């Protein structure tokens, strides 16, 4: 099996201004940050913590993801990362590349969008969905900052949380728990992107999925 490693080395200063931006989705409006960068004086909009599915708790635990509940007419603040999906951080915290996040919660099906600004309202950028790795039992979307890639390549970058470990892949080999819920979360996120990314200057007909380690494996399973 061939392994492909992509290493991105950039130096960038990015500053989130006090200017907020509001964008529509099919479930309600969201409020994000306007961010300026030192890369070619480009700016972008950043939305962190947009729900792409209902919280997978209670009766939805070990179930296929469901669409989020509409929050309209309210405006949802998407200004901070949401907790990572539950995982055993203790087993990896001492690794040299171990986790830097601390908060986990079963309510973790959120995505983050990094969208370059443009003065042309007709422009639609290619979209890149990044799936984090971690052996399918640890990882978090907030570890991957999409700002550099978005402004350097003029693409809309999306990162997402998905269920991992026993909550994401447990199967009882019957209808009680069929398994692969983490994979189905990714499908749900892709459906959300198809329906909504145009509002964030993304082209729903040009979506690329990628990841590292188990995120790369998850990507191939969608082919």
Question: What's the Cα-to-Cα distance from 191 to each of 71, 146, 164, 199, rounded to whole Å?
Answer: 19, 20, 20, 14
Pick the closest to residue 110 from 147, 65, 153, 171 (CA basis).
65
Partners of 112 in beta bridges = 48, 159
Neighbour-count burial of 169, counting CB atoms closer than 10 A to its CB (0-12 exposed, 13-18 middle, 19+ buried): middle
How is domain 17-220 classified at the CATH fold level?
Rossmann fold (3.40.50)
Q: Tell me 213's DSSP state.
A: T
**Sequence spans of domains, the chain:** 17-220
Model's pTM, two decimal places? 0.89
Contact (CB, 8 A) for 112 and 48: yes
DSSP helix/strand/coil, 48: strand
198 token code pair: 């145009």
Partners of 31 in beta bridges = 22, 77
How many C-beta atoms lie closer than 10 Å to residue 150's C-beta? 27
pLDDT in tens, the chain (223 residues): 444 444 444 445 555 556 899 999 999 999 999 999 888 789 999 999 999 999 999 999 999 999 999 999 999 999 999 999 999 877 666 654 555 567 899 999 999 999 999 989 999 999 999 999 999 988 999 999 999 999 999 999 999 999 999 999 988 887 777 889 999 999 999 999 999 999 999 999 999 999 999 999 999 999 8
């Amino acid at each position: 099996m061939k392994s492909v490693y992509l290493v991105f080395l950039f130096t960038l200063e990015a500053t989130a201004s006090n200017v907020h931006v509001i964008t529509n989705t099919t479930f309600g409006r969201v409020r994000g940050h306007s961010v300026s960068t030192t890369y070619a004086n480009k700016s972008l909009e950043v939305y962190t913590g947009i729900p792409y599915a209902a919280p997978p708790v209670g009766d939805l635990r070990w179930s296929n993801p469901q669409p989020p509940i509409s929050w309209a007419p309210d405006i949802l603040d998407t200004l901070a990362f949401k907790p990572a999906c539950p995982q055993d951080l203790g087993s990896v915290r001492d690794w040299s590349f171990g986790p830097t996040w601390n908060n986990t919660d079963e309510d973790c099906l959120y995505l983050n969008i990094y969208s370059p600004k443009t003065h042309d309202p007709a422009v639609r950028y290619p979209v890149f969905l990044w799936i984090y790795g971690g052996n399918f039992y640890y990882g978090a979307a907030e570890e991957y900052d999409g700002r550099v890639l978005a402004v350097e390549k003029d693409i809309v970058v999306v990162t997402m949380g998905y269920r991992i470990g026993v909550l994401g892949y447990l199967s009882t080999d019957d209808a009680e728990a069929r398994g692969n819920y983490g994979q189905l979360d990714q499908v749900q996120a892709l459906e959300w992107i198809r329906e909504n990314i145009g509002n964030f200057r993304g082209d729903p007909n040009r979506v690329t999925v990628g990841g590292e380690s188990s995120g790369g494996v998850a990507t191939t399973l969608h082919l």
